[in-house]
Structure 1
Amino acid sequence: MTETYDVVVIGGGTAGLSAALVLGRALRRTLVVDAGEPRNAPAARMQGYLSRDGMPPTEFLAEGRREIERYGVELVRDRAVDVVRDGAGEFDVTLAAGGTVHARRLVVTTGLADELPPVPGIAERFGRDVIHCPYCHGWEVRDQAFGVLASTPLSVHQALMVSQWSKDVTLFLHTVGEAELSGEDLRRLAAAGVVVVPSEVAGLVVDGDRLTGVRLADGTTHDRSVLFVAPRAVPRTGLLERLGAELLETPFGAYPVVDATGLTTVPGVWAAGNAMGFAEQVVNAASGGYRAAATLNGELLFADLDAAVARGQS
């Protein structure tokens, strides 16, 4: 027999666990389906989360799993590979390991994947001295020699932002032509003291276990101890697309159209965390999961009350 839950949360990262915590405390029978692919897995520490600043992401998620277990929330290490909305407006979720679970409502927190520029050495060092977010890591690498790898014209914005954490910043245009930079871009870069190098990056220079430079296609090297990159965001929206959720194209990929609570255009389906936007940090994901769960719980409560009233009047 198919197990039935009030809510199935698809994704066991910060947003999913936060939603599950609220739902468990609200006495909702809840299942979390966790494929174990958190976006911040490469990072040794998470930063900027009040009271948890510097905590390893693995420890943070492990504590979250312990918390939801105390409230009777179930968690399965599996992947949701399909979801179908039935005639009653509820959902059948198919799992990779086999079997199906039934949910009255869904919270989708499948996040996104960061697709890194194909430069040798970047993937191996990502999350250490190859980083992408100054708010996540800027304080830890402050005042060092920064490089910024330009893979799109938006990398100019990244170079300008990181100049707040170091006055030694070099922007390597890499695959961006000089002609793609506007006059305003060049004036702002000059005002920030950012050096612009119009050459493709061929690889990294590593000494022991430390980044020491950036090697260009012409063989020259620039001493750098930190390299900022801009990964291409790949939203994991496959399940939402199967349900017919409306998506909105952004410079960082297509994300579901949601209201202020995370409700998608599919009735009964909420999204939270990076499943609904590129810039959601851990603290935002926790908040989004909480908000979605609280709204969803109220919606279920009043749906049940209205159904009881209708039965009493029939």
Structure 2
Amino acid sequence: MTPLTYDVAVIGAGSAGLQAAQTLGRMHQTTVVLGTDRYRNDPATHMHNFLGHDGQPPAELRVAARKDAEAYDDVRFVEAEVTRISGELGAFVLELAGDEPVRARRVVLATGVHDTLPAVPGLAEQFGDLVAHCPFCHGHEFAGARVGILGSAPHTAAMASMLRPIAGELVVLTDGARLDDATAASLDLLGAEVATAPVTAVRRTDDGLEVDLDGAPPITLGGMFAKTAWAPTAPFAEQLGLDVSELGAVLVDGFGRTNVPGVYAAGDLAQGPGMPMPMASVLVAAAGGLLAGAACVQDAALNRIA
């Protein structure tokens, strides 16, 4: 029988939400997981740097993780989009698109973020494979190749430095922008080639990528890194009055607690103490889900005996 009020509502069925659900299910907390079929790492053909799952397609991990969570009687999955959250600790109301509202004593936000790529024709089609944004997740796959870095901001030099031991050659594509003197000097020290012409297109070849430049010969690459602009996928932080960082991430403590009692956040949406930004990693997201789920249980237990 469906409870009138769940102990916890988990919003999001990626690695953070699924791990939170499993943790809560094991502790016999009535839990509803509300999710859609949209995930940040959908474009990725394979995920990497995840203990025991290196090179596995992301969807396979989600299928296995959901099966684990569904094995617990107290966990229920609902395929529905949450449109609004209101209420307070012990009495949150989650409005759903095309379905009846859900009530929960606590809420775990695991809704993630979405990426916006630079507006270069062909770039989005290769994103998640030959174009990536995280060297920890996809850098090794370009080992020994000629690797491009699209961008001109100061972080470009740091990216080039991390990739220097991996790439056979480095090419920084500034897309018509001028590098500042410090960045230019750092790239020169690293031995990186710099192409300043505007990038007009990116396309796949048999050997990797070909990058068209305005007024200059095309450049062939084995892979490319591009910085994305990201934003939360849902407006819940604003609806609930959560504290957010300058980047827009939800600020949490070491256990995923936000500034609003009863609301927790995990995954790419959450920024922990001492972190300059969220760590965009499937493994870190899952760990955050475990911590947020554990915090829900601990806080509920303390409330009962206080």
Letter in 2 for 1:16: G
Q: Secondary structure at the match of 2:53?
A: coil
- Does the Cα contact within 8 Å between 2:152 and 2:173 map onto a contact in 1? no
2:76 to 67, 74, 83: 74
Equivalence for 2:265: 271
Q: Structure 2: any 5+ residue segments left out of the alignment?
A: 272-277
Deviation per CA, 1:87-144, whole angstroms, max 9, x where unpaired? Answer: x652000111221000100000111101011101011111111111111111122111
- Does the Cα contact within 8 Å between 1:117 and 1:151 map onto a contact in 2? no
2:193 to 178, 192, 195: 195
Q: Does 1:108 align with 2:129?
A: no
When Rg is computed on C-alpha atoms for both structures, the one with the higher figure is: 1
Distance 1:62 1:141 in 2: 28
Q: Structure 1: any 5+ residue segments left out of the alignment?
A: 307-314
Shift of 1:3: 3.8
Equivalence for 2:46: 45
Distance 1:89 1:32 in 2: 17
Letter in 1 for 2:200: A
Distance 1:58 1:163 in 2: 31
Detail structure 1 runs of 4+ shifted over 3 Å in the superposition: none
Matches within 5 A, 1:212-291: 212-236=209-233, 238-249=235-246, 253-277=247-271, 278-291=278-291
Shift of 1:237: 5.0
TM-score (structure 1 length as normaliser)? 0.90
**Which sits farther off after the overlay, 147-156 or 122-131?**
147-156
Shift of 1:214: 0.9
Equivalence for 1:15: 16
Distance 1:172 1:32 in 2: 43
Matches within 5 A, 1:174-185: 174-178=175-179, 181-183=180-182, 185=183
With over 3 angstroms needed to count, the CA separation of the structure-2 counterparts of 1:111 and 1:151, relative to structure 1, is: farther
Shift of 1:161: 2.0
Equivalence for 1:305: 305
With over 3 angstroms needed to count, the CA separation of the structure-2 counterparts of 1:2 and 1:101, relative to structure 1, is: farther
Q: Does 1:162 align with 2:160?
A: no
Equivalence for 2:275: none
Distance 1:246 1:219 in 2: 47
- Does the Cα contact within 8 Å between 1:2 and 1:100 map onto a contact in 2? no
Equivalence for 1:85: 87
- Does the Cα contact within 8 Å between 1:159 and 1:169 map onto a contact in 2? yes
Q: Secondary structure at the match of 2:248?
A: strand
Distance 1:128 1:142 in 2: 14
Letter in 1 for 2:296: L
- Does the Cα contact within 8 Å between 1:150 and 1:156 map onto a contact in 2? no
Distance 1:20 1:224 in 2: 42
Shift of 1:191: 2.0
Distance 1:8 1:168 in 2: 48
Instruction: Tell me how large the CA RMSD over aligned residues is.
Output: 1.8
Q: Does 1:26 align with 2:24?
A: no
Equivalence for 1:59: 60
Q: Does 1:206 align with 2:200?
A: no
Q: Secondary structure at the match of 1:22?
A: helix
Shift of 1:2: 8.4
Distance 1:240 1:164 in 2: 40
Matched length = 298
State percent identity of aligned pairs. 33
With over 3 angstroms needed to count, the CA separation of the structure-2 counterparts of 1:302 and 1:175, relative to structure 1, is: farther
- Does the Cα contact within 8 Å between 1:2 and 1:102 map onto a contact in 2? no
Letter in 1 for 2:211: V
